[in-house]
Chain A
Amino acid sequence: MNTAIAEQVLNAVRKKRMWSLTFMALGLAVLMMVTLRMGTVEFTFRQVLGVFTGSNADSLARQVVYNIRLPRMLTAVMVGVNLAVSGALLQGVLRNPLASPQVIGVNAGAGLAAVSVMIFFPGKLSLLPPAAFAGALLAVLLVYGLTFHQQLNTTVSIVLAGVAVSAFLNAMTSGLMILNSDDIEVTYSWLLGGLAGRGWSYVSLIAGYTLLGVLVALLLSPKINLFLLGEEVGSSLGLRVRLYRSLIMITAAVLAGSAVSVAGTIGFVGLIAPHMTRLLVGDDYRYLTIGSGLMGGLLLLTADTVARTVFRPVELPVGVITSVLGAPFFLYLLYRGRGR
C-alpha cells in the first residue's frame, strides 16, 4: 500500500471517530427522551414535551415526568458518565485493561462507610451519600498512600494494594452486616446499587462533580496518551509521571466516589464502557475520555430503564442488570482478544 492510500486511511479513521462520538451523543439524547415516556404510566412524546414547554403544568405527566423520571434519568446518566470516565482514566494511567474504580478501592471504601452509617446511625439516611463519598476517597488515599514510597510507586503495586485494601474493607463490611443482621436487607440492596427514588436532591449532589470531573479528565487526556507508552517513555517525552498520576487518580476517585455515593456500588459500567468505546474510537484519550462518558451514560440509562420497566411493578437493582449484561460482553471481549 502506498503513502497516499495510507493518508486516506488515516483520514477515514479520524472521520470514523468523530462520527462515532456524534452518534453516541445523539443516541444518548434520543434515549433520554424515550425513557421519560416509559414506566408504569406511559406518556406520549407530546405530553413529555409539554412538561418542558409548560403547557400542562399541573397534569399527572408533569408530576411523574418532572418530579420522578427526569431527576432519576439525569442521575442515571451522570452516574454512568462518572463511572465510565473514571474507569477510562484508571485503565490508561495504570495501563491495565482490568482497572476500574473497584480496583483502587472506591466500592469497598464506599460500601464500608455506607454500611457503618446504616448500622450505627440508623434513620439518618441523609448521611449516606457524604459518608459513602468520604469512604471512597479515604480508601483510594489509603491505597495510594501505601504505594507512595519511591520504589513501590509502580502501577502493579497500586493495583495489588487496591486489591488488598478492597479485600480487607469488604471483609469488614461483611462482618458488620452479619453481626447486625436486622438491617441486612436495606444494606444489601444499597450495596447492589440502584437508582430507585433518586430525586432532584441527588441530581444536585452529583452534578457539580460530574461537570468538574469530566472537565478535568478532558484536560488530562493528552497526558494519559503518554502513560500508554510506558512511564519511562512518557517521562522522556516530558511527562511528570508522579504529578499526573496523582492528579488522574484523584480525578477518577472523585468521579467514581460521587457516583457510588448517590447510586450505591454499581459494577461493570466503569470496566466495560471504556472497552466498548475503544472498539469504536481507538486508544487516543482525546476521543476515548469523552466517548467513554457518553457510552457510560447510554449503558447505565439503558440498564436502569430495563431495571424499572421489564419486571414492573417489581424493580431490580440496576447493579444486577449491569452485571448480567456486562459479564457476557466482557467474555466476548476476551474471546475476541484471543482470536487476534
Chain B
Amino acid sequence: MLEVRQLDFAYGKKRVLHQIDLQAQPGEVISLLGPNGSGKSTLLRNLAGLLKPDAGTITLRGDPLKKLGRREIARQLSFLPQGQEPVQHMNVWELVARGRSPHQRAGWMMTSQDRETVQWALDYMALAHLAHRNVADLSGGERQRAWIAMVLAQDTQLVLLDEPVTYLDIKHQWDVLEVIQDLKESFHKTVITVFHDLNHAMAVSDRVYLLRQGEVFAQGPPETVITHSAMHDAYGIHAQVCRVQHCCHPVVVPAGIKPGKCRRNKAAG
C-alpha cells in the first residue's frame, strides 16, 4: 500500500527526519509515537505529499508519490491535520461535501454518487441531524466528527490522521478510536495516525513506529514496542506496562506516581 525508504527531511538546515523506513499494508492501523519534536507530524505530512522529502522514496501502490498529481494523490489518500482552520458561514453538509472535491472535475456539480457518499459519511459519524448546523456553532467533539466525516467522504484507501483525539473529552476520544478500528475492519482501509496517548496506540494499532529525534527508534506490534525501557529511552519517563484481567491489551500507567489509594494508606500508616 505505502512504502517509505530512507526518507530524509529538513526544515532549512534543521534536520527533522533521518533515514526513515516505513511500510503499511492494506487494512492495517499504524500509530506514530514519540515525544514532541520527534518528527511524527512532519513524517505524516511527507506521507501526505504536503512536504517534499530531501532524500529517499515514498511509493503509493507501487507509484512514486512525487510522480503523482495533487488530485491523483487526493483520490488515494486523505489527511486530517491537527487543529483545523475555523470556518465561518459554512454548514456541516457543505464541509463534508468538500471531501468529494478530488472526485469532481470543475467542482461546480455533485453527482448522485457524491451525494450518497456525503450522506453516508454524515450517517456514519452520527451527524445527519446536524447537517444544517453552522460548523462554527458546533461543540468541539461534534466539530472534530464533522472534519473526520469530510475525510471519510473523500473515500480513500489510505487515511492519515494527525492527533485526531486531541482536545476531545473521553467519550469523543473513544468514539474516534472506534471509528479508526471500524475503518480497518469493515472497510479494509489503511490508517496511519499520530497519538500522544500510549493507551490509544495500544488499543487500536496493529503496529506502532516509535520516533526519537527524527529516527525510527523501534517499530512492531504495540506490545513489543511499548515497554518500560523503550518508553524511558524515547520519552525519558518511567512507565509501567500492566496486564489487566479481562482486558485484551496491556495498559500503560506512570510508574512514579502511586494511585490515590496507595498514597492514602501510606499516609495513614
Query: Which residues of A are at the interface with B, using a C-beta cutoff of 8 A?
Result: 1-3, 5-7, 9-10, 13, 95, 151, 219, 221-223, 225-226, 228-230, 232-233, 235-240, 278, 282-284, 286
A13 touches B128 (CB 8 A): no
Query: Which residues of B are at the interface with A, using a C-beta cutoff of 8 A?
Result: 12, 45, 48-50, 70-71, 73-75, 77-81, 84-85, 87-91, 93-95, 98-99, 101-102, 104, 106-108, 128-132, 154
Given contacts A232-B81, A282-B89, A284-B94, A226 and B131 within 8 Å (CB-CB) = no
Partner of B101, one of A1, A2, A95, A239: A239
B90 touches A228 (CB 8 A): yes
B131 touches A10 (CB 8 A): yes
Partner of A238, one of B71, B87, B128: B71
B87 touches A226 (CB 8 A): no
Partner of A3, one of B80, B102, B128: B128
Q: CA separation between A229 and B85, bound complex, in Å?
A: 6
B93 touches A10 (CB 8 A): yes
CB proximity of B213 to chain A, nearest CB, Å: 23
Given contacts A10-B91, A238-B70, A225 and B98 within 8 Å (CB-CB) = yes
Given contacts A236-B74, A236-B79, A284-B94, A6 and B132 within 8 Å (CB-CB) = yes
Q: Enumerate chain B residues within 8 angstroms of A1, measured Cβ to Cβ.
A: 129
Q: Please give me the residue from chain B that is nearest to A223 by CB atom.
A: B107
Q: Enumerate chain A residues within 8 angstroms of B78, measured Cβ to Cβ.
A: 236
Q: Please give me the residue from chain A that is nearest to B128 by CB atom.
A: A3
Q: CA separation between A283 and B71, bound complex, in Å?
A: 23
Q: CA separation between A35 and B194, bound complex, in Å?
A: 62
B90 touches A237 (CB 8 A): no
Q: CA separation between A232 and B74, bound complex, in Å?
A: 12
B48 touches A229 (CB 8 A): no
Q: Enumerate chain B residues within 8 angstroms of A2, measured Cβ to Cβ.
A: 129
B85 touches A95 (CB 8 A): yes
B132 touches A233 (CB 8 A): no
Q: Enumerate chain A residues within 8 angstroms of B85, measured Cβ to Cβ.
A: 95, 228-230, 233
Q: Enumerate chain B residues within 8 angstroms of A6, measured Cβ to Cβ.
A: 128-132
Given contacts A7-B131, A229-B84, A232-B81, A237 and B154 within 8 Å (CB-CB) = yes
Q: Enumerate chain A residues within 8 angstroms of B107, measured Cβ to Cβ.
A: 221-223, 225
Partner of A226, one of B73, B98, B129: B98
A237 touches B102 (CB 8 A): yes
A–B pairs, 20, beta carbons within 8 Å: A3-B128, A3-B131, A5-B129, A7-B131, A9-B132, A10-B131, A13-B132, A225-B107, A229-B85, A229-B87, A230-B81, A230-B84, A232-B81, A236-B79, A237-B99, A238-B70, A238-B75, A238-B102, A282-B94, A283-B89
Partner of B81, one of A223, A233, A239: A233
B50 touches A236 (CB 8 A): yes
A282 touches B102 (CB 8 A): no
CB proximity of A191 to chain B, nearest CB, Å: 33
A282 touches B90 (CB 8 A): yes
B89 touches A222 (CB 8 A): no
Given contacts A226-B101, A286-B108, A233 and B84 within 8 Å (CB-CB) = yes
A283 touches B132 (CB 8 A): no
Q: Enumerate chain B residues within 8 angstroms of A239, measured Cβ to Cβ.
A: 70, 101
CB proximity of A113 to chain B, nearest CB, Å: 36
Q: Please give me the residue from chain A that is nearest to B133 by CB atom.
A: A6
Q: Enumerate chain B residues within 8 angstroms of A236, measured Cβ to Cβ.
A: 48-50, 73-74, 77-79
Q: Enumerate chain A residues within 8 angstroms of B132, measured Cβ to Cβ.
A: 6, 9-10, 13
Q: CA separation between A9 and B129, bound complex, in Å?
A: 11
Q: Please give me the residue from chain B that is nearest to A284 by CB atom.
A: B94
Q: CA separation between A240 and B69, bound complex, in Å?
A: 9
Partner of A283, one of B77, B88, B99, B101: B88
CB proximity of A293 to chain B, nearest CB, Å: 17
CB proximity of B266 to chain A, nearest CB, Å: 49
Q: CA separation between A1 and B91, bound complex, in Å?
A: 15
- Seed contacts A225-B107, A235-B50, A284-B90; 8 additional CB < 8 Å A-B pairs: A3-B128, A3-B129, A219-B106, A222-B107, A228-B90, A238-B75, A239-B70, A282-B90
CB proximity of A69 to chain B, nearest CB, Å: 37
Q: Enumerate chain B residues within 8 angstroms of A237, measured Cβ to Cβ.
A: 74, 98-99, 101-102, 154
Q: CA separation between A226 and B71, bound complex, in Å?
A: 13
Given contacts A229-B84, A238-B73, A278 and B102 within 8 Å (CB-CB) = no
Q: Enumerate chain A residues within 8 angstroms of B154, measured Cβ to Cβ.
A: 237
B74 touches A238 (CB 8 A): yes
Q: Enumerate chain A residues within 8 angstroms of B130, measured Cβ to Cβ.
A: 6
